[in-house]
Structure 1
Amino acid sequence: MAHQHTVALPHSGFQWGPEDIVRIDSLNQIAEQLRYSGPKNIKQVALEALKLSEAIDYNKGRLFAHYHSAVYELYQGNWEQALSIHKRNMERPGFYDFPELVLKTYNDMAQAHFINSDYPKSYGDFLVALEHAEASGNLSQQFRIRSNLGTMFLLLKDFDEAGIHYGRAESILDQVEDSQLQSVLLVNIGVLHIERKDYEGALPYLMKGTALSANRQETNIAAFGQLTLGRLHTYQGDYEKAMTHLNLASIGYTASGDKKGLADLAYGMGAAQLGLGEYEKARKQILKSLALFKAFSLKSGMERCYRMLYKIAKAENAPAASLGYLELAEAYSDSIAIEQNKNNLAMLRTKLAYENEKELLRRQDEEFIEKQNAYIRVITAGMVISLCFALLIHHQGKRNRKMNLMLAEKTKALTEREIGLEKTNRTKDKLFSIIGHDLRGPILSLKELVGLSLEEDPNGNLYFKRFGPDLNTKLGHLQFTLDNLLNWGQNQMQGAITRPREVPIKTQIDHILDFFLEKIERKNIKVCSNVAEETTVYADEDHFRILLRNLISNAIKFTHPGGNIEVRAQQKYGKTTIEVKDDGLGMKPDVLQRILNSQEHISTVGTNMEKGTGLGLLLCTDMVQQNKGEITVASKPGQGSIFKVSLPSKKGAG
């Protein structure tokens, strides 16, 4: 039977005296402790603290009571309500007078954004909370936020970044007296080891964290530890032992009412029951988990459930059902990959913006201090002037001017070097982020099909015929993407050397249209190429081919099935203008204004849900500029787009 937590509150007729503030603070402390032992009871305690605070107009009690009301909503999965309460509380008078409340609020808002899969906002709020914690020297909150950052990157599968934050939290573990926070960190580090398939390394952390939480009757954390131990034994093939731990986790999660925990628990039970061959029980648990994840709109959870349902149906030799579940899993996998790509880039921009803001504030502080020091030096110099000879003063002034000039030159050089390094790092991070996520989908699909073939699955041919064509399309897209990535990365990191010569345009266009012939025929697009044989441009041939290939690829991508594309060229006044026109989706004015900004990355899907990295137009813009040309675009939503590229016709032209 689950252990239910109850809270004893003062009766309504209680007469308040000078000790009222102590009582209200105690209620808020109880609400904080209930985060991990009985989150269902937080609301009851918070409302009582709020009522008593209003009765005696105690602002601190009121603010913390509202904060704990938001915590309750967060633990019930109501992230929108939690954010709304937090934002209203931040607008109340006196909120920023309590640094601990400020940093805890940002920390919890970050968790709410994470539940909503808004990872850039989550990351930004965690960074603000961490800055407040470090500024106030609050080790307990530094520990909590580092742990939360580690968990965020763990769930985003960035295990290296997760390890960094967990490592920093673990380094101050012995300085934190809160056993709840210690337990959570230890169990999460165990999860990280599991994700890295280091099962032996995971076990000591899980055992220690679970034991610590059980000793303190911290229901939710103990349940999390038991759930993770169950997951570990499932991976190791010891399904009976896994179910023992999962049943213990069920007691804790049922008592706490943690909906996310219940969703993970149902999934874990389904996985273990599949290993035991109890297919019907496994299906019921996975469907229960799926319903909970759908309530959260958590795509990663839904993808895992559909993939597990595919495995169950496959084990039952039900190929039609397994194919259906696999298609749903792949659809969510592709959607998650696209979102992760965008989120990684957005988080990178969030981090850079945050660091740039901190750097700006640091420089402003240094400038202010320097001005103060300058005033002091001026005053000191004035006193010295009254005591020194004019010649000495002149000599000193000359020397100071020379030193200031040298310092200014060194500062300028250092600033330019920092800008260059920042640009290089940003380019590198963006490049590897995109490569990682664009490779993931096709490689996972290829691995699945190869695995089926090696297993000599009787339905292997059926799977291959169903998913093979789609995989072939993905691999073709991957090849095209890699060409763009490698050219763009080299262009950004090393600079590009152009070798211009006269290039016949029609030949290049014909080759590119042949390259995309399958895509053109699949979408039944009519392509009209109106280019004279003698028309040329004076440009680097490789650059020109990549430029045309990307423009025509985009036109195909955004043209509706049965639509039209026109490619034409005109030579006039020493310039050749190439025009690629389509009657497809078109672009809104705000997108149009940003589309040729070389500092901004924009990626959208095509009319047949074709994916892209958003690097094609960045690459086109760079290469046109390097070949002394210009690129313009005109577009209207629903009417299509016209891209025009103007380049020199011959050597010495333009």
Structure 2
Amino acid sequence: MLKKAIHLLLYLQFSTLILQAQPPTMSSEWEWFNTFEDSLSSRNAEELLENKQEALQAAIDIERPDVESKISKELAFIHISKTNDLEKAMSYLIRSLEIDEKSGNEAGLIFTYIGFYQLFEKIEDYYYGKEFLEKASTILRNYDLPPLRVYLNKELGQTYWLTGELGKSIEQYQNILTYATAERIPKLEAETHTDLAEIYKNENELERALNHYENALKIFRRIESPLLTAECLNAIGNIYLIRSNSERAYENYLAALEVLRQLNGAEAQLATLYNSVAQYYFKEGNAERALANLRLANPLAQKSQKQELIQDTYGLLSKAYKELGDYQKALEYSELFKALEDFLQKEKVDRSILKMQSRHTINQKQSLIDQLELNRIQKDFELEKEKRFKDFLIIMVTLIAIILILIFTLFILQKKNNKKLKVANLRVNAQNDELEDLNATKDKFFSIISHDLKGPLNSLTSFSGLLMNHTSSLSTEEIQMLAKDLDKSLKNLFALLENLLQWSRSQTGNIEFTAEEFDLTEMLNENKRLLDKQAENKNIQIEVKNTKSITVQAHPNSITTVIRNLLSNAIKFTDEGGQIKMGVVNEKHEYVVKIADNGVGMPKDVANKIFRIDTKHSTQGTAKEKGTGLGLILCKEFVEKNGGKIWVKSEEGKGTIFSFSIPK
């Protein structure tokens, strides 16, 4: 008796000192919860109950409701997990709820709600248990404690799935996944992928389940977790077997077997795997190989003492012997299967009866919880009413202060208006300067056009004059040469006018850049076919690297104009016998079209100004082809109208790569 009194005194002194020095916080309560959960698995119920009941009585005697609430929670958790006396657990949780709500202890309240959830989970009343988890989750929104948030997300994810709320369940696991990825917690990330895979598998969404299992497998391998790696491989193999992909299923089973053979204490996992391999051989019509694996599985299942695993093995053994014609053995294992099934069914019925009895008892006490909830709502209403009155007083005082401030502000506003007028005048002046710059740019543009139009027209005039006045004195070869030159001048003039027309239409808004779906790879091939003849004249090879269809959304006419101009430009500046490559790179947010040549290239200072309208730069091609000076400006205009960017990389004497992007 003296020993018990000393033990009780020391416990209360310790608890009191802790609570006086350090009021309970959310993080300290979470630490307590984890420590206590660990102790439940290592100590027996009688010892725990004896110590806690003595401490509870002492807390009541010295009128320490905070200590009483915490010990009540501990006793409730003991009865839920150890003794299954749910009626007592309910009584302790109701007392803890009364104290926590009266004191406004939100940290304690969260773990009281978790206790209620565990209690209702025990009797499989997931709908009522879910309400307590949601209440705990609502309180936790005001606190930054990620580990507790993860715990609640996991429990909510499982409960939502059990109550048929698939969308909410997946949302909870996705929240955990986002946190685990951001904080780089690989084991949590992999376990969450596994949880999601199990849900999708049970919902028969096998492709999604497989994707999550494969993500989990990569992480388990990276963090060197062999047992979880093997379980994941087995699960992946089972999905492939369901999808009738026996070859892939067998590959995963073999990989899992190789991992498990190196581990000790993995009897249950090995037995499960051998059963899976047996199922594979049944599907392949090879009952002998199935039996060989089941003979390995049976002793391992017996050693694991997992009744459902043993039952599965018996059922598969009966099937194997039946297919091999050994009906005596088949009957023997069939009887073992049925005997174990009867035993498990009886256990299940006993548990169901116990749960029904517990549910009946707990339902009788739910009115107490409802009354406490009603009291809390009334208390919140009174607090809200008091808060509204305070808010009204604050508003009245604030209005008076605002009126006084307005009088003072009116005086200040007059000065500010004068300053704003000055700023507005400066802005107008800046806009005028900008307009002048734009006009100067336009003038420069018309200067480029007039200069470029004059060249081809002068050539046409000269060639036509020669043909008109000297036809009789010219040989057939000279006339053909003049005709070729005349053709070049006409084509150059046509290209200039085409680019000028397209540019002017875009500037005046006559082109509607409406996005449409089209195949970008096919567009590259179309432009290649269009300019193949021009390339053949210089013995240049054009290659489109893409073979697969790439569907994009953009304005197709403007994009094909850009590709045609860039490809024509590449042909122009590539020597005879050269090579041009075109392709599309799939980036994260955009597709990038690249047109590369091994031509003459250009200096860096030239590359920096080729897209600018205020600078004139036109260079003759390798076969003395003349440029319009407008093509690249038009390309930049059209790419930007489609929401993309255009740029160039070039090295003199080594070639040029033009690139432009199309947003996804």
TM more than 0.5: no
The normalised TM-score by structure 2 is 0.35
The normalised TM-score by structure 1 is 0.36
